[in-house]
Structure 1
Amino acid sequence: MKWGSRILLGLTPKSLRYRIWKKAEKEMTKYGLAESDGITELCSGPGYMRNKYPIASFEDNLFLPFEGTEMPIPVGYDAYLRTAFGDYMTPPPADKQVPHHDAIIADMDKSYTEYKGEYGA
């Protein structure tokens, strides 16, 4: 999929890519928050673009501990996670616990061969 996208992107003239982006930007900003009953995300792929999240979930944030520091998260994080992932607090069966994304590991002390097979590669 990645290489196909790169080929298509390379074959598409820059002026056409710009016009497509401007059209998409116009569609994305057509409505303000006051006129909307929900929001979605655009950068996580088509599957997530179908999800509709309550605006109130993102109107404020709270700080929760994460790896030794306090990080801001949306006040409606639970509604977001349930909409995006369903019952996110229940781990999937062991055979379904596999990466669903690409990962890059930078370890200056270990060879990449020591990681082979450990992270789904």
Structure 2
Amino acid sequence: MSHLIQLTSNELKLIQRKNLEIAKYFVRFCKEHDLRVYVFAGACLGAIRHKGFIPWDDDIDLCMPAPDYKKLLEIWERYADTERYSLCVQTRSYNDHHLSDSIRDNNTTFIIEASVDADTNQGVALDFGPLHAAANSRIGRMFQLMCACGCSLFKAGRLPNRQNKVVYILSKILLGIFRGESVRFFIWSTLEKLATLPDRKYEEAKYVKEFSMFPFITWLYPKEWFDKSVWVPFEDTEMPLPIGCREYLSKRYSNYMELPPEESRHPEHRIVFMDLENSYKKYRGIQYFKNLKRG
């Protein structure tokens, strides 16, 4: 196992500051191009409960309705500051083994255990992903869930953490059978196309869902919660939250204004190496992708 960094309070603040810098840019970009985007998950909770970061959190998550996400992919290279920021989406040639897409700061280094062996962008990441239209029928939603689960497994290409034994064993068997990267890409890209078919009528959908990890991949949210934004204080700026943010937080965290136990107050990322002042490219073959063959 790689040696992991234990963050000091000052290091955590520096990471938060860099995340906020990326978020400001991305939210401004979305606003300029009329794209809906919302602070999501723990960052949404932090915005409501702490008016900024959860004190021990080390990232910001965002989500977008599927039509806006699709438009983002089409315009990013044309209008974004691609010298500074990269839009990292899983493809045949690029896979950083994360379920979320990300906007990464090319001038930084933030290597986590899950991607230390990958030859990918290792800059500080702002994670985001689309909210997909849920299928209308129960059978359709079951089919969509099965496709989304398979897509997530083969896109990540690694055994799931914090899952029950049955899910873990089944995942291990499937990953053991389908080992090649090309085969895995074919599987997850095909399953993703099938799972996202309801997006063709996104605005008519009653519910939306995220394709992430359990149990969230099984959940449905009323689409109206994510139709519009409300701007709230977040550190030294304002960030857009979904109009149904409090209903969403109640579903995800139950009594969301209550602090968790002390032992749960820690950053989620398992950090191997970081340098917030220098590009990850400086450390290729040294701190990550160490199996690089030098000619």
Q: TM-score, normalised by structure 2?
A: 0.30
Q: 1:28 to 1:100 in 2, by over 3 A?
A: farther
SS of the equivalent of 2:230 reads strand
The structure with higher relative contact order (CA 8 Å, sep 6+) is: 2
C-alpha displacement of 1:94? 4.2
1:23 corresponds to: 190
Give 1:107 deviation, angstroms.
8.2
Q: Cα distance, 1:92 vs. partner?
A: 3.2
1:39 lines up with 2:208 in the alignment: yes
- Counterpart of 2:219 in structure 1 is 51
The alignment's C-alpha RMSD in Å is 3.2
The one-letter amino acid paired with 1:41 is: E
Mapped partners of 1:22, 1:35: distance in 2: 25
Unaligned runs of 5+ in 1: 109-121
Corresponding residue of 1:79: 247
1:82 offset after TM fit, Å?
1.2
Residue in 2 aligned with 1:70? 238
Write the mapping of 1:3-18 to structure 2, written as runs, cut at 5 A: 5=158, 8=175, 12-18=179-185
Question: Residues of 1 paired with 2:267 and 2:251: CA distance?
Answer: 18
Deviation track 1:35-54 (CA, whole Å, cap 9, x = no partner) reads 532111113x1211122111
**1:99 & 1:38 partners in 2: Cα distance?**
32
The letter of the residue matching 1:28 is A
Distance 1:36 1:102 in 2: 34
Question: How many residues are paired up?
Answer: 104
CA distance in 2 between counterparts of 1:27 and 1:79 reads 29
For 1:69 and 1:51, how far apart are their aligned partners in 2? Answer: 31
Distance 1:13 1:93 in 2: 42
Q: Secondary structure at the match of 2:197?
A: coil
Percent pairwise identity: 30
Higher alpha-carbon deviation: 74-83 or 28-37: 28-37
Q: State the TM-score, normalizing by the size of structure 1.
A: 0.66
Give the structure 2 partner of residue 117 of structure 1.
Answer: none
Structure 2 CA distance, aligned partners of 1:39 and 1:56?
A: 9
- 8 Å CA contact 1:53–1:79 kept in 2: the answer is no
67 and 107 in structure 1: CA distance in 2 versus 1, 3 angstrom threshold:
farther
* CA distance in 2 between partners of 1:49 and 1:79 (Å): 18
Indicate conservation of the 8 Å contact 1:53/1:83, yes or no. Answer: no
CA distance in structure 1 between the aligned counterparts of 2:274 and 2:260, rounded to whole angstroms: 28
Partner SS state of residue 23, structure 1: helix
Uncovered stretches (5+) of structure 2, i.e. residues with no partner: 1-113, 116-156, 160-171, 277-295
More strand by share: 2
Whether contact under 8 Å (1:58, 1:75) holds in the other structure is yes
**Structure 1's 29 and 74: CA in aligned 2 closer, same or farther, altered over 3 A?**
same
| In structure 1, distance between residues paired with 2:275 and 2:204 | 48
**Aligned position for 1:89:** 257
- Match for residue 98 of structure 1? 265
